[in-house]
Structure 1
């Protein structure tokens, strides 16, 4: 496991700008090096703000962009709602960036790997099974990495996560049985403390195979969770965010409001 680092930004706009620029660099590098890139997206204010900033950078021609036909987008979690519902992470991402990439920049619609909606899954468990099959279809049959091969998932070049005021990441909530699920890449959550109760989420096993895990956290309402996640002895049962780590790097991108309760703030 890599060392966890904290990168502070003056405010949410600065955070989103920095993460967006770095995201484009990672995707471009992956396409150049391996011919394909896989990114896992998140919702929330900072997650969607990052995608909006990516769109702005593309429109302004201010950053190198990848060959979008070789980029795949996934999600760390999703609300089990009808397709097109504005509370779904994929709908927000569509509005912020993905529709433009598909219509104007050559991103194949099939490279946007949405978690099932209620038309495709009647339960979170069924939705998790369906998304596991989607991930398996995109995995490399010759994958030499034993963890990825066992989970049957592609290599995630970067995985973005928001952090809730209670310390949750994806739809892995404090005290939930899903925290302890292993040896599968997706799990259904039927009793989310945040509405709606039905969710689909990646597991910690899947998150931990990502090359880079970036937490994107903004706002003073997240300050307590950020502080608790970086306290000595932090427990994943109480603060699930501490269980999320990447192989190459784990970075907490926080604005000053979210960082205000860290010891050296």
Structure 2
């Protein structure tokens, strides 16, 4: 069955930047504002992080803002999660959480009082023997921090036992994937669950754990961060109404409050 994009979700809008540095700097400023405002209003804020050059670049840019004296949230109220992860050993340089720690999180722990327990990495290969086990373990972590009301995807889909994400960052691959939801894979059709395992990723390593579309759709804000000419074809297809989600999963990146594509000039080069 074809995947339908939920009309109740926020329609995407675009913000264009000259290059990756301008993009990541802008996303960092916006992200810091969301962290401050949401933590003050709600007492806690949950954020989903992504890997890739632009995603990690945004974290580095956020760290630079803090070093320059930017106003920060109460980091004790901020929780960091991941949209997907490679099932590799802890501190493997290919893991998204390792890259995020180097770019920002270790600095926040050491210099700004971010509690270690507020960092929620996906399982390592030492902790989970296979992706399905890792997906179940992460679903349990999400459930521990679920809000008093389960998070519901836009459009009235079944509620999931997970925190209410104020923001979810997503990278987009050259093939149009988000998280570890790859074109043509069965994981695209996972329903009623927050997490899914992927055993045959077309991009090595093969073993992955990912949030599902249903989980992505619970987030208030879904922001893609896309830079580089190698992403241009995927970006163009993502904005073509006739492109099926099964071919370009990024078409189904939607939040309940807003969906924003942050695109540099190279990645936008094939848009009309």
Per the TM superposition, whether the score is higher than 0.5 is yes
Q: Deviations over 1:6-58 (max 9, x none)?
A: 10001000000000000000010001100001100000000000000000000
Please report how far the alpha carbon of residue 64 of structure 1 lies from its aligned counterpart in structure 2 after TM superposition. Answer: 2.1
Q: Is the CA contact 1:213–1:250 (under 8 Å) kept in the aligned structure 2?
A: yes
Q: Deviations over 1:117-162 (max 9, x none)?
A: 011100000000000000000012x216555983100010000000
Q: Deviations over 1:89-109 (max 9, x none)?
A: 000000000001011101000
Q: Which runs of 4+ in 1 moved over 4 A?
A: 144-149
Q: Is the CA contact 1:143–1:149 (under 8 Å) kept in the aligned structure 2?
A: no
Size of the aligned set, in residue pairs, is: 261
Give me the whole-angstrom Cα distance separating, in 2, the residues matched to 1:206 and 1:118: 23
Gaps of 5+ in 1: none
Equivalent positions of 1:72-87 (< 5 A) are: 72-87=79-94
Aligned to 2:3: none
Of 135, 138, 145, the residue aligned with 1:128 is 135
TM-score w.r.t. the length of structure 1 is 0.97
Equivalent positions of 1:242-257 (< 5 A) are: 242-257=251-266
Q: Deviations over 1:52-77 (max 9, x none)?
A: 0000000011x321000110000000
The alignment yields a C-alpha RMSD, in angstroms, of 1.1
Give me the whole-angstrom Cα distance separating, in 2, the residues matched to 1:250 and 1:171: 19
Give me the whole-angstrom Cα distance separating, in 2, the residues matched to 1:92 and 1:105: 19
Give me the whole-angstrom Cα distance separating, in 2, the residues matched to 1:144 and 1:129: 17
Aligned to 2:229: 220
Aligned to 1:44: 52
Aligned to 2:119: 112
Gaps of 5+ in 2: 1-8
2:208 matches 1:202: no
Q: Is the partner of 1:157 in helix, strand or coil? A: strand
Of 27, 30, 36, the residue aligned with 2:35 is 27
2:75 matches 1:68: yes
2:239 matches 1:235: no
Q: Is the partner of 2:81 in helix, strand or coil? A: strand
TM-score w.r.t. the length of structure 2 is 0.94
Greater CA deviation, 142-151 or 90-99?
142-151
